Structure 1
Amino acid sequence: MIHVVASIRVKPGSVPEFLEIFKSNVPRVRAEKGCLEYAPTIDVDSGLPPQHLDENRVTILEKWESLESLHAHLRTPHMLAYRERVKGIVEDLSLAVLEAA
């Protein structure tokens, strides 16, 4: 199983717009072969000292059956359309692609 943590920083004040676009795509992604989990999350203040809150960050938590499933996901027409729709509001993207140790 492959775990993906995608950290997406959007332009200030753009989180609601980004989430609307993102969530409209979730059913298509969840229907993809190999998708086990795909959900957006936002920071919540935990009061824990090492936490760095960012009100303009959305973190996507994903689980895929395999790297092949993840690569296929990135080539789907709905993901190409999604990236086009959000490119004007996304400032930065980082990925962690992980497997169980």
Structure 2
Amino acid sequence: SHQGAVLGVFAMYSMTVREPTEAETRLIDFTTRIAGIAIERKLAEDQIHFMANHDVLTGLPNRALLEDRLSQALLYAQRYERWVTVVFIDLDNFKLVNDTLGHN
């Protein structure tokens, strides 16, 4: 990574036992830099997607993800003539539980 963290492993194989040539070493340096950028970008995209669809405090799915999954379930049910069931649980005074016992 750009911070020096290991993101993966890069391996090269040869028909004979030898060290990489200078050109191969430059190619390895270039490709590992590009791979690192691509991996870091994918990790950042995954993190943004998770943050958009999950509650910051609990890490549980949020309303946006619920709406998306419910929409998919309804389309699936219509297509295959199935039923959809939604269960909603409301916990009264849950804020009091958090304030008293803490979020953990």
Question: TM-score scaled to structure 2, two decimals?
Answer: 0.25
TM-score (norm 1): 0.25
More helix by share: 2
> Could you say which structure has the higher strand fraction?
1
Between 1 and 2, higher relative CO (CA 8 Å, sep ≥ 6) is seen in: 1
